[in-house]
């Protein structure tokens, strides 16, 4: 059962827009239905940078960011039955309680059991397990993986194969699962179809992988950064284009390239203008566009209603539609069986104390994913 307070290293975001600061923090033991995890590896995702920038309406400071991690259960609070100390786990920013109306509905993965407290940066009982220099530090997305130890709700952990390399499968905690599921679960891409993927970062590459798995015959990658094209083709893109090479809007270019538009399009950036272009690049009568990227606070999407009246569908997805506790272990097994790529997303590996360098690499467009070894 749970021991005492653990002192360890964590990257604390004291305020928006400032680099993270490596600090010694105290991590309290898990309370009832909570799990304390020793984080072994954590990757850096654009969502961490989005909150750090101050653009996130739910951003609270000071906070320990990070939501793409993997580790080993150190201790459990009372009433925890699904995991035990020593288990290999991935923390989940979308939990799965199995009891709420969302969990019971097959059409969604958006468990709401701890949503309100999670959005406030707190554990389900309304308190934090982190302190630093006498101050309470907020949790992030119910995971806070930029710490050597973290505490999460017991519905926010997936127990995975103990043989899985944690410095790779941590990516299944967010980006890879999100993009892959956007294609397979949300869009339900059909064999022989034509797809367009806007934004060729980790999520976009994972969408390409999903489209390829589904048997799409044409997968068009779109990004301003042409350095990303080779990697996209490695993942299954059949061609790549940059909007800067054309005088006309990119949706018109795509409609010309595909005899009227694509069957499926995916926005993997979080830019509302690109979301519109992605919808309008879809074929009349049956085209489906999926929003995967997270736009800034207060931004709105727009198009003419005629786009939808004439048979296009606009959808969104979170964590690729996967019910997390059920599916993350299966995704890990698929990776272990070489059915999905994960290693290929990792372009850089750094020690934990170089975390700010990982953010710089991402902003410079030089990395797909940087994994930090804690």
Residue 359 lies in a domain: yes
From the list 67, 139, 283, 348, the catalytic residue is 67
46 is catalytic: yes
Interacting residues of 291 by C-beta distance below 8 A, sequence separation 6+: 267, 275, 278, 301, 314, 315, 316, 317
From the list 26, 34, 36, 45, the catalytic residue is 45
For every one of its 374 residues, what pLDDT tens digit does the chain have, with 9 covering 90 and above?
Answer: 557 999 999 999 999 999 999 999 999 999 999 999 999 999 999 899 999 998 888 889 999 999 999 999 999 999 999 999 999 999 999 999 999 999 999 999 999 999 999 999 999 999 999 999 999 999 999 999 999 999 999 999 999 999 999 999 999 999 999 999 999 999 999 999 999 999 999 999 999 999 999 999 999 999 999 999 999 999 999 999 999 999 999 999 999 999 999 999 999 999 999 999 999 999 999 999 999 999 988 899 999 999 999 999 999 999 999 999 999 999 999 999 999 999 999 999 999 999 999 999 999 989 999 999 99
pLDDT at residue 1, as a whole number = 52
Does residue 275 share a domain with residue 352?
A: no
Does residue 257 share a domain with residue 353?
A: no
From the list 103, 170, 240, 268, the catalytic residue is 103
Q: What is the pTM of this model?
A: 0.96
111 is catalytic: yes
pLDDT at residue 117, as a whole number = 97
Residue 52 lies in a domain: no
CA distance 157 to 175: 17
24 is catalytic: no
Does residue 364 share a domain with residue 243?
A: no
Residue 65 lies in a domain: no
Residue 325 lies in a domain: no
Q: How many domains does the chain have?
A: 2
Q: Would you tell me how many other CB atoms lie within 10 Å of the CB of residue 246?
A: 13
pLDDT at residue 299, as a whole number = 93
DSSP E strands in the chain: the ranges are 6-13, 21-27, 34-43, 63-64, 68-76, 88-91, 130-132, 135-137, 149-153, 157-159, 194-198, 218-222, 239-241, 264-267, 288-291, 313-316, 346-351, 369-373
Question: Count of alpha carbons within 13 Å of 171, Cβ hemisphere only?
Answer: 27
Cβ contact 109:94 at 8 Å: yes
Does residue 311 share a domain with residue 351?
A: no
Does residue 351 share a domain with residue 269?
A: no
Does residue 367 share a domain with residue 293?
A: no
Cβ contact 340:176 at 8 Å: yes
The three-state secondary structure class of 151 is strand
Does residue 346 share a domain with residue 306?
A: no
CA distance 42 to 265: 29
Question: Count of alpha carbons within 13 Å of 128, Cβ hemisphere only?
Answer: 22
CA distance 248 to 162: 51
The three-state secondary structure class of 255 is helix
From the list 46, 139, 276, 283, the catalytic residue is 46
Residue 4 tokens read as 């005492």
Residue 248 lies in a domain: yes
Does residue 188 share a domain with residue 303?
A: yes
Residue 18 tokens read as 């400032």
CA distance 150 to 139: 9
100 is catalytic: yes
Does residue 353 share a domain with residue 312?
A: no
**CATH assignment of the domain containing 214:** 3.40.50.720
Does residue 366 share a domain with residue 268?
A: no
Does residue 365 share a domain with residue 238?
A: no
From the list 115, 303, 313, 347, the catalytic residue is 115
Per the document, the length of the chain is 374
CA distance 167 to 310: 46
Does residue 347 share a domain with residue 312?
A: no
195 is catalytic: no
pLDDT at residue 57, as a whole number = 81
From the list 8, 60, 100, 132, the catalytic residue is 100
Cβ contact 271:295 at 8 Å: yes
357 is catalytic: no
From the list 8, 23, 60, 97, the catalytic residue is 97
132 is catalytic: no
> Cα 91 from chain centroid?
12
CA distance 364 to 343: 21
pLDDT at residue 114, as a whole number = 98
Q: Is the dihedral of CA 71, 74, 76, 80 positive or negative?
A: positive
Residue 77 lies in a domain: no
Q: Would you tell me how many other CB atoms lie within 10 Å of the CB of residue 123?
A: 23
Q: Would you tell me how many other CB atoms lie within 10 Å of the CB of residue 302?
A: 9
From the list 26, 68, 148, 280, the catalytic residue is 68
CA distance 66 to 141: 8
Structural domain for 243, as ranges: 178-320
* Of 344, 180, 332, 363, residue with least CA distance to 268: 180
* Of 66, 61, 75, 203, residue with least CA distance to 128: 61
pLDDT at residue 58, as a whole number = 82
Cβ contact 105:179 at 8 Å: no
68 is catalytic: yes
From the list 34, 47, 51, 194, the catalytic residue is 47
């Amino acid at each position: 059962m749970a021991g005492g307070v653990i002192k360890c290293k964590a990257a604390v975001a004291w305020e928006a827009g400032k680099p993270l600061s490596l600090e010694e923090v105290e991590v309290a033991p898990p309370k009832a239905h909570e799990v304390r995890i020793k984080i072994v590896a954590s990757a850096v995702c654009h969502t961490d940078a989005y909150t750090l920038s101050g653009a996130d309406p739910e951003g609270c400071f000071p906070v320990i960011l990070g939501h793409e991690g993997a580790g080993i259960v150190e201790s459990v609070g009372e009433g925890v039955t699904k995991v035990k100390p020593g288990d290999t786990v991935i923390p989940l920013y979308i939990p799965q309680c199995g009891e709420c109306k969302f969990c019971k509905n097959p059409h969604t993965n958006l468990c709401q059991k701890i949503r309100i407290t999670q959005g406030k940066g707190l554990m389900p009982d309304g308190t934090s397990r982190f302190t630093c220099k006498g101050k309470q530090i907020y949790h992030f997305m119910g995971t806070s993986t930029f710490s050597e130890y973290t505490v999460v709700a017991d519905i926010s952990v997936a127990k995975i194969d103990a043989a899985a390399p944690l410095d790779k499968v941590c990516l299944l905690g967010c980006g890879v699962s999100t993009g892959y599921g956007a294609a397979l679960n949300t869009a339900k891409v059909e064999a022989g179809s034509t797809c367009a993927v806007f934004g060729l970062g980790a999520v976009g590459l994972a969408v390409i992988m999903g489209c390829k798995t589904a048997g799409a015959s044409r997968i068009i990658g779109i990004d301003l950064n042409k350095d990303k094209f080779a990697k996209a083709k490695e993942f299954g893109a059949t061609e790549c284009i940059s909007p800067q090479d054309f005088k006309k809007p990119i949706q018109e270019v795509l409609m010309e390239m595909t005899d009227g538009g694509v069957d499926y399009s995916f926005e993997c950036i979080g830019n509302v203008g690109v979301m519109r272009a992605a919808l309008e690049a879809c074929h009349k009568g049956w085209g489906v566009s999926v929003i995967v990227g997270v736009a800034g606070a207060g931004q709105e999407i727009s198009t003419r209603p005629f786009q939808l009246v004439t048979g296009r569908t606009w959808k969104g997805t979170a964590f690729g539609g996967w019910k997390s506790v059920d599916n993350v272990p299966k995704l890990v097994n698929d990776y272990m069986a070489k059915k999905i790529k994960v290693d290929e997303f990792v372009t850089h590996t750094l020690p934990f104390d170089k975390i700010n360098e990982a953010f710089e690499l991402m902003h410079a467009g030089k990395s797909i994913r940087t994994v930090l070894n804690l």
